[in-house]
Amino acid sequence: MEEKLTMKQLLAILAAGLFSFCGVLIETATNITFPTLMNEFHISTSLVQWMTTGNLLMMGIMIPISSYLKRRFQTKKLFLVAGFLFSIGLIVDIFAQQFTLLLIGRFIQGAGVGIALPMMYNIILEESPERLLGLMMGCGSFVTAAAPAIGPTFGGIMTQYFTWRYIFICVLPVIVLASFIGYFCMSEQIINKHEKFDLLSFIAVALAFVSLIMGFSNLNQIVDDLVFVLGCFIIGIISLYYFTKRQLHIKNSLIRIEIFNHKGFTFHTLAIMFLQMTTLGYGLLLPTFVQIVLKQSATDAGVVLLPGAIVGAVFAPIGGLILDRLGAKKPIVLGLCCSFIATFCFLFFFKNLTYQSCILFYFIYSLGIGLIVGNTMTSAMSHLPKNLQADGNATLQTLMQLSGGIGTSITATILAFVQQGTNLYDGTNRGALFVLIFLMFNINIVILSQYFAFKGGRKNEFKDKVVVITGGTSGIGKQTAIEFSRKGAHVVAFTVDKEEVCKQAIKEIGNEAFYIHCDVSKEEDVKKAIEEVVLKYGRLDCAFNNAGIGPDGVRMPYESLTEISEKTWDLVVDVDMKGVFLCLKYELLQMQKQGFGAIVNTASIGGHKMAPGFAAYGPAKAAVIALTEMAALENAAFGIRVNAICPGPTMGTELTKNSLSTNPHEEAMLKEHVIPMKKLATTQEVVNAVLWLSSDQASHTTGQKIFIDGGMHIA
């Protein structure tokens, strides 16, 4: 990763950011126009809110496929398509003479923003230096947070002094400019032209979002249309369930659901969802309350959000700087305190709310939001491996749009329901109180979610990962299993050891590890063992193909080509070479379905540097190196890394121990004349290499052979 961002990268982020900015700008600006649109088109509150909800819905449908689009198409081409759609939507709204056409234009805009929005965060995650990641994510949040600072005031001025159509007229040239910048500055990336689009998954997620939004939008009609509302919720839940199950069982999934196996990511995402519901709820409630209850103008209604939106935007990058220096927890906790206090004040002083107090309380709330949103997204992504971050970003952005639509719908529903049967002033005043109670409930959910995110989040990078280790009940294999287990992984040992040996080893490994009797030289054994692991855990994160054997199972095979028997050759080659091949085959098949995984094979210094007497062992280990390179080449595009370790003589292994026992002078000879560092490797030194190669710290390392031999390979 580069130490600094280039100007081209910064411009690419800017171009994508302008799309996000304009999308939120129009969303918050049009909220101000709701009373005007209601009068002009003779529509209700529940209908006019579809100006926001419909746009968010289209974004929510398009964003889930952003991870697929990223893998399948060049970024700059996608960006041009997004710009074209956004521009067409703006033109439709500029000339719309009916509310239906106005909604169609907003839907088209939502499709364009839905394609472009994830690009900004993907660029930041992929190209920002680690030391600046918090700041850059904060800047991304600044872009989207700056829009609410301008949007309401902008919308109020356009509505009061010109016409609401100028909201769309003014944005059009910005989108055209952003499209040109993006086209020339977006970098090219490796694409998979052969990846198929799963239409059924797309239909399922689209149906789920439409149904859920329709259900929430019509909650105020539940008494009159009970069947319709309940039907929407049932269809939405079933569609979402089908989508989720399908992603787990198809090769080319739209979104890799495995991201939710990471608890820190899951709870942070939940917090973001309820926070988005709260923020969008405030964005609809306050301008409406100010105009109808406090009798202020449309411009004043826009200004009520301005100071808060400005401070929220400013504190987004400041919060990112704090994260880079102190971690995510401190700025997030401070932000939660601000948001809670502000919402409490709205409720406590509700009967005496003034225009000025609304500005003050929303200012405090938005200060908290500036500290929370970007840092929560950064912290959420930190719980995912690099190869899953695009899926995590797509999921996070999707759920933000869905929850934003739900928040807007519920707020509008509460207001519309209470307004029925009474005058607009009294209905809006009472409805605002119920909305604030709803928003306070959301804030408490956010606090609980953040608590569990930090409490149950990643203690280390192997937390809850599924690791298979062949030969995992002795020597290097067992020590590696113990270390993986200590770091929170679910360890499965493949072994041919006797039951009592296995039980004792599993007791030492701990953390609910278990073993599967598996002869790695038999294809059916390996196939069934991998299937059993996947059946139990649903995935396979890491594999360590370590099983090795000598002529009698315990000694190194010291025999020349002319001395070795066919039986010994077959025995050694079957386990040390064929066993690695079979394990690789079925591990890779599973990891290809997932789109991620890390594999480490045990080769040997003897596979790199031939020595007399290693007639079977040396060629078998050389073949392991070749297999490693082949597997790495064939599977890099799937997000799978395959590497090999090449230990020299290692203390703590049965092969070395038993071999040295037959020749007491060999150890001294190795130290004095063969190993430059004058010592044998320890088991822990080998294990450390395996752990590193299996970790995200080696995220760009594949096809390598790592020597743990004290310099033997260069002597």
- Kindly list the catalytic residues: 617
Cα separation, 339 vs 606, in Å, equals: 63
Q: What are 445's two structure tokens?
A: 């959910």
CB within 8 A of 713, min separation 6: which ones? 605, 608, 609, 646, 707
Cα separation, 6 vs 308, in Å, equals: 32
In degrees, to the nearest 5, what angle opens at C-alpha 348 toward C-alphas 342 and 354?
75
DSSP 577: I
First to last CA, the chain: 33
Q: In what order do the strands lie in the sheet with 597-602?
A: 514-517, 490-495, 466-470, 542-545, 597-602, 640-647, 705-708
SS (H, E, C) 377-405: HHHHHHCCCHHHHHHHHHHHHHHHHHHHH
In degrees, to the nearest 5, what angle opens at C-alpha 38 toward C-alphas 33 and 41?
110
DSSP 614: B
User: Which strand (E) or helix (H) includes residue 12?
Assistant: helix 7-32
Q: What are 678's two structure tokens?
A: 């004058």
Q: If 0-12 CB within 10 Å is exposed, 13-18 middle and 19+ buried, where does residue 497 land?
A: middle
For residue 151, give the nearest of 256, 302, 271, 255 by alpha carbon.
302
* Cβ atoms of 597 and 640 closer than 8 Å: yes
Instruction: Identify residue 163 by its one-letter amino acid code.
Output: T
Strands 490-495, 681-682: pairing is unpaired
